[in-house]
Amino acid sequence: MEQLDQQQAETLGAIADATTLDALEAIRVSALGKQGWVSALLKTMGQLSPEERQAKGPQIHGAREAVTTALAARKAALESAVLDARLAAEAVDLSLPAPESPRGSVHPVSQVMDELAEIFADMGFAVASGPEIEDDWHNFTALNMPETHPARAMHDTFYFPDKDGEGRDMLLRTHTSPVQIRAMLKDGAPLRIIAPGRVYRSDSDATHTPMFHQIEGLVIDKGIHLGHLKWTLETFLKAFFERDDIVLRLRPSYFPFTEPSVEVDVGYTLVGGKRVVGGSGDAPGGGWMEVLGSGMVNRKVIEFGGLDPDEWQGFAFGTGVDRLAMLKYGLDDLRAFFDGDARWLGHYGFGALDVPTLSGGVGVKP
């Protein structure tokens, strides 16, 4: 067993002298590996007689335990030394600014939604909402849209195969106008609301998508006339585009839910190949551009809303939120709004704390 004692002493000495983890691993393999001397001694124990095994076994196992313990202790010491050296070399300068973490941004549509809510809230409008899966009575019939109206066609509207409990066709709403009916039936009059939200139509190109955002407004009160409508729209557009030179042109039109109905145009000029809203469209280099539809609420719609049209009158208007965002912030392709491209959102998006206010500017870009 003198040879065993000598090998153990040499191995323990080598472990104590090891200066790197790689050198320590080599010593471990030479002693405890498959071909190591400790492993070889353990294999020979099966060839010994019981008396020899009883005499030599404790020494062999003792050598293995001593080597294993020394390896673990030296490994812990070397790892601690490596960590200390790394910490000393990688000292942190606490005076440096922390690295900037990735931040999301507010989508232009969401920003414009907030801008519109801020503007109309200042004029006393409340925000109303309704279901996006609607029945054809609220979406069409109650808005004075007859069975033969083109909007009811399958190629223009997304219908569901199921009907509601009253046997009415179900569909994805084509406008937020059903919210007006629901608000009149629920809250009665007087009423002053805006109804922003998603709507759906079977259409897709550079300026149309199957899903888009719309905002509609409704005022019901006594003695309401077209002059109130024009003032409301003029005040709204001046605040939204942040210009006092907004000029409106009202053109006669037709909508089944308003009578009379008017299309609202704004004047613009071309600057750098882009339309800039402001000024008269009749001025040199200017033009007119339609931005929304509006009119006095049809008597039949007021009746469907549970009100007496001889007592209550009102006006309504509607426009596309995505279109307003394109006009205000110079965006070209509506389809990019819904691509989910992080680069596009990073360029056109708004900061999470950039809350629109009338005093601070509803459309201040960060």
H/E segment holding residue 16: helix 2-17
Query: Among 192, 268, 261, 196, which residue's Cα sits nearest to residue 232?
Result: 192
**Residue 332 CB-density burial (10 A; 0-12 exposed, 13-18 middle, 19+ buried):** exposed
Is 259 annotated in some ligand binding site? yes
Residue entry with tokens 């629901």: 182
Angle made by CA atoms 213, 196, 199, in degrees to the nearest 5: 40
Q: Which residues contact 95 (CB under 8 A, 6 or more apart)?
A: none
**Residue 263 CB-density burial (10 A; 0-12 exposed, 13-18 middle, 19+ buried):** middle
CA end-to-end distance (rounded Å), the chain: 82
Alpha-carbon distance of 173 to 135, in angstroms, equals 8
- Here the tokens at position 41 are 């001694």
Answer left, alpha or beta for residue 340, where phi above 0 means left and psi between -120 and 50 means alpha: left
- Here the tokens at position 356 are 């629109």
> In sequence order, what E strands does the chain have?
126-127, 133-135, 159-163, 169-172, 191-200, 211-221, 248-255, 258-271, 274-277, 286-297, 313-320
Alpha-carbon distance of 343 to 268, in angstroms, equals 30
Alpha-carbon distance of 280 to 247, in angstroms, equals 6
Q: Which residues are annotated as a binding site for Mg(2+)?
A: 259
Q: Which residues are annotated as a binding site?
A: 259
